[in-house]
């Protein structure tokens, strides 16, 4: 990391991970970081092995206690979470040398939140969700084209029907760690741990 990176003093960090996330996200946006809300979701597959994929963070509770993402409950990640609710989120912004890690159990949000999330998406995204079949084998691109045409015939170019499996999931964070890289290798790490009366903050060795 032989480049100029932002400074970070764990001793001066706010009391909640939600507040620190907002500070870091505002700085990332100001610095022109691409896709700062793209995160890696890690789940546990039925064979006990970890699985991971990139998706978009759909919101964070003000104090950082809940981190939201959305998916089909019929997708691999949805099936993983139905069998094993523990998951982790990871964000990394290379230009700033910053990483954020979140761990905790996952629950489904109320149905009205999932519905609002779906209807707030672009028509193209809604059509893709109505096609579904995520991660199934596809013989050729023509299969997708045929399914897309079928959805457009059935629902139009601006579908408002919400798939029953569209789900907003909430990671109820038990721990959130912020990592700031440093050219001198004295990386700064701060872990927030959920406690009965809020959050405990602990500085960690690099």
Annotated binding-site residue? 77: yes
Q: Is 158 exposed, middle or buried (0-12, 13-18, 19+ CB in 10 A)?
A: exposed
**Residue 189 assigned to a binding site:** yes
The answer to the question of whether 99 is labelled as a binding residue is yes
Distance of CA 51 to the CA centre of its chain: 14
Quote the CA–CA distance of 192 and 199 in Å, as a whole number: 6
Q: Which two tokens mark 134?
A: 């995520």
Does the annotation flag 180 for ligand binding? no
Residue ranges in the chain assigned as alpha helix (H): 17-30, 76-83, 111-119, 123-131, 141-155
Beta bridge partners of 171: 67, 106
194 in a known ligand binding site: no
Rounded Cα distance between 157 and 102, Å, is 37
- Is 134 annotated in a binding site? The answer is yes
Q: How far apart are CA 93 and CA 111, in angstroms?
A: 32
If we measure between CA atoms, which residue out of 95, 75, 57 comes closest to residue 136? 75
Annotation: binding site for FMN: 77, 99, 134-135, 179, 189
Annotation: binding site: 77, 99, 134-135, 179, 189
């Amino acid at each position: 990391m032989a480049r100029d990176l932002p400074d970070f003093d764990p001793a001066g960090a706010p009391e909640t991970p939600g507040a620190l996330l907002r500070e870091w996200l505002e700085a990332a946006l100001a610095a022109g970081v691409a896709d700062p809300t793209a995160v890696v979701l890690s789940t546990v597959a039925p064979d006990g092995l970890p699985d991971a994929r990139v998706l978009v963070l759909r919101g964070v509770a003000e104090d950082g206690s809940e981190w939201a993402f959305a998916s089909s409950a019929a997708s691999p990640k949805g099936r993983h979470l139905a069998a094993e609710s523990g998951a982790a989120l990871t964000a990394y912004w290379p230009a700033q040398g910053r990483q954020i890690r979140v761990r905790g159990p996952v629950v489904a949000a109320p149905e009205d939140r999932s519905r609002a999330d779906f209807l707030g998406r672009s028509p193209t995204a809604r059509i893709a969700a109505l096609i579904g079949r995520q991660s199934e084998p596809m013989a050729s691109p023509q299969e997708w084209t045929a399914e897309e045409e079928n959805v457009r015939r059935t629902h139009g170019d601006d579908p408002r029907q919400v798939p029953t499996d569209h789900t907003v999931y909430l990671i109820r964070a038990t721990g959130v760690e912020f990592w700031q890289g440093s050219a001198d290798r004295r990386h700064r790490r701060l872990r927030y741990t959920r406690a009965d009366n809020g959050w405990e903050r602990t500085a960690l060795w690099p």
